[in-house]
Amino acid sequence: MRHSCCFFIVLCLSLACLWAGCTTGPSPAEAPPPLAQVDTVRVKALIALRDSMLAAAVRARDDGRLNPTIFDGENMFNYLHIPPDSTILNCQLRSDTMELQATFFLLDKQLQAAHLRQWIKTPTPLAREVYFYFNHDGKLFFAEERSSLLQPGQLPTVLRDLPFLQSNDPLDKLWNDLKPWWELVWAKTAEPAGLLE
């Protein structure tokens, strides 16, 4: 009796494990890496780089050393070279259905990090903020985000109270979300920022 009870428990646990393994979800190739496999040293270095570049941008603004904004309708594009080898590219886009701000941080003309803020007004109001981190080879390896569906009349500032968490989206999808804005801001700012030399 005792052996048959143990056998039954082991059988049930085995079936439960098999069933759990067969549930749908992203395949291991598509899923973001587990946090334990993320190069946290690289992430911290990129956060420090981003923060130092933003501090330099604030000093440039306070000293009146910002480049003139490039306007394209209601959309604005900015760039700032930070000697010796850092550059910030930024766009602010507005339409009836969405507002977006994307900031790209470059070192030696290579994309290192990016920050995307989106306020989608229709059809489903949503606020989203994502930080993207890139390897030395320019490939996205980690992203953290926070997002919230918005109630009627609610502003995207509700995100301030939410923590950033590792994104559950596959890295390819995250890059595809960012890529159009990267290509747009590059097209508008790379030449005046001296990045094509």
Residue 25 has pLDDT above 50, yes or no: no
- The DSSP bridge pattern shows strands 70-72 and 140-149 to be unpaired
pLDDT confidence of residue 17: 34
Predicted local distance difference test score (pLDDT) of residue 2: 43
* pLDDT at residue number 35: 54
Q: Which parts of the chain fold into alpha helices (H)?
A: 2-21, 40-62, 171-189
Q: What is the pLDDT of residue 16?
A: 33
Residue 8 one-letter amino acid: F
Domain boundary assignment for the chain: 35-189
Local confidence band at 1 (pLDDT 50, 70, 90 cut-offs): very low
C-alpha to C-alpha distance for 56 and 68, rounded to whole angstroms: 17
- Tens digits of per-residue pLDDT, 27-56? 334 555 565 578 999 999 999 999 999 999
Do 132 and 174 contact (CB within 8 A), yes or no? Answer: yes
Q: Given this model, what pLDDT does residue 192 score?
A: 94
Single-letter code of the amino acid located at 112: Q
Report the chain's C-alpha Rg in angstroms. Answer: 22
